[in-house]
A and B are shown apart, each in its own frame.
Chain A
Amino acid sequence: MTAPLRFQNLTLGYDRHPAVHHLDGAVEAGSLTAVVGPNGAGKSTLFKGIVGVLKPLAGAIAFDGVQPRDIAYLPQVAEIDRSFPISVYDLIAMGLWQSKGVFGGIGREDRGTIEHAIETVGLSGFEQRAIGTLSGGQMQRALFARLLLQDARIIVLDEPFAAIDTKTASDLLALVRRWHDEKRTVLTALHDLDLVTKTFPQTLLLAREPVAWGATAEVLTPDNITKARRMCEAFDEEAVACAAPEPA
């Protein structure tokens, strides 16, 4: 198995305070991994590191044959200006940016692709609506349609099912499963452990430091979960410099 993403003693954080501390391990190609942990465990931080928004404080992420454009990322809170006067169709169509760039035209075939994506997420009929008129769940559907168009090998989803009704969540989860079937590598942060057990073969349990990483059943043991909760203590203003040796 190849590993498109490999974390090497990775430490990510803010103002020298680590939010992800000494993470080692590899994300295997085509794997479907749940990233689980209490609030403040470093899930979002890890994702920001993967997409390059955040530079590591120490260690590194090794990409094997992966370009930044191969990674599609759905942030927990998208920076979308909901008051901007643009239609749902145009927002979703932006997912074609990789193939179209700044100047590429959107032809009949592309319009078919876009319409198909819109239909897949169940937003048919909403194409010409302004994005400001969408509900939270509809917006999440639109963003999934955009992810569909991005057609990326690696998909990183940060709490995609938070604050969304069960129908929407199950529709969107079906897409996640489909991406897994298509052998894409998917990383998803989420809190619903039942859902993780049912759907995600791999789990990374994170509590700033990695608690366990592997097959979901082996990771989500009561012991590990208790340990994760305990480890996630507050941000320490007075923390001293980490004494762990820097690898050569």
Chain B
Amino acid sequence: MLSDFFLKPFSDASFRHSLAAVLALSFSAGPIGVFLLLRRMSLVGDAMAHAILPGVAIGFLAAGLNVFAMTLGGLVAGLLIALVAGAVSRATKLQEDASLAVFLLVSLALGVVIVTVKGMDVDQLMTFLFGETAAKMTAEKLFVIAANSTASLIALALIYRPLVLGCVDPGFLRSVSRADGIAHLTFLVLLVLSLISAFHALGTLLGVGIIIVPAATARFWTRDISMMIVLAMGSALVSGAAGVLFAFHAGIPAGPAVTLAAGILYLGSVAFGRVGGLFRQAFPGRHLEA
């Protein structure tokens, strides 16, 4: 019975693709989410996830349900929007959260209008918004996601030092190096790549869940950035695998299943986390000698 639950799904190739994709995604989503969190850009990530939708939709408009066309469309739209949004917020001093909220709503609306005009049926639209139902994934999508994650990990390793220093002490980094701008731009590109992967695996609305929630979970367990990245990866891996398995058996879309699993880990960490968890705050134990 139990072995059925865990082993039977593996006889299904599309489930295997789906699981492999979520695991690959976790490796890039973990660190990207950590940096989003530490740069106080979680909301930016959320907005960008929606902002790539019109690009993906245009890809769909041009080539139908072609993974590569949609990826390219999302990539172009995401980069364009990252640059424009950065320039707008620097130039206008408009309240950033307000402009992000507007961005998020308008792009989601635009994306949905484009795909429905082209004649996407309701099942496909559900996949679009919430990810593969019952975790059934094609090999092409897996390929795109794995390639994105591989590229992201290599690029992250290259910009790691300026990226960290740019978060801790941006003034100092600017005084010793010009790597600041390059690191930030590269990070935005990697963010877009991860968002596209997340879109393919988990859909538009909840894809960003596997990026942001595990990072927030990790923050409750450590005061060290490297450890935080490892924990965020681990938490994404666990919730990704559990979510996909759950989606397969329950026949629900992968997006909500994975995000819910991540949310459970998050709630547990809020309650019992070693760093700032509620339980720990309520019962800190007797004060120390020194």
Select A79's contact among B158, B170, B224, beta carbons within 8 Å. Answer: B170
Dominant secondary structure at the B interface: helix
Q: A79-B170, A94-B169 are in contact. Are A85 and B176 (CB under 8 A)?
A: no
Q: Do B222 and A79 touch (CB < 8 A)?
A: no
Interface stretch (choices B129-137, B160-168, B279-287): B160-168
CB distance from B177 to the nearest CB of A (A): 6
Residues of B within 8 A of A213 (CB): none
Select B168's contact among A51, A68, A84, A98, beta carbons within 8 Å. Answer: A84
Map CB proximity to A onto B159-194 as digits: 1 under 8 Å, 0 otherwise.
101101101111111111101000000000000000
Residues of A within 8 A of B179 (CB): 102
CB distance from B170 to the nearest CB of A (A): 6
A69 CB-CB contact with B under 8 Å: yes
Q: Which residue of B lies closest to A150 (CB)?
A: B176
Range of interface residues on A (Cβ < 8 Å): 20 to 34
Range of interface residues on B (Cβ < 8 Å): 20 to 34
Residues of B within 8 A of A80 (CB): 168-169, 172
B225 CB-CB contact with A under 8 Å: yes
Residues of B within 8 A of A68 (CB): 175
Residues of A within 8 A of B225 (CB): 84-86
Distance, CA A71 to CA B179, complexed state (A): 18
CB distance from A138 to the nearest CB of B (A): 15
Q: Do A97 and B164 touch (CB < 8 A)?
A: no
A132 CB-CB contact with B under 8 Å: yes
Q: Which residue of A lies closest to B176 (CB)?
A: A97
Q: Do A85 and B223 touch (CB < 8 A)?
A: yes
Q: Do B171 and A79 touch (CB < 8 A)?
A: yes
Q: Do B168 and A132 touch (CB < 8 A)?
A: no
A75 CB-CB contact with B under 8 Å: yes
CB distance from A85 to the nearest CB of B (A): 5
Distance, CA A87 to CA B161, complexed state (A): 14
Map CB proximity to A onto B16-48 as digits: 1 under 8 Å, 0 otherwise.
000000000000000000000010000000000
Distance, CA A78 to CA B168, complexed state (A): 10
A-B contact pairs, 15 of them (CB 8 A): A53-B174, A53-B175, A78-B169, A78-B172, A79-B170, A81-B168, A84-B38, A85-B222, A85-B225, A86-B225, A94-B165, A94-B169, A97-B173, A102-B159, A103-B161
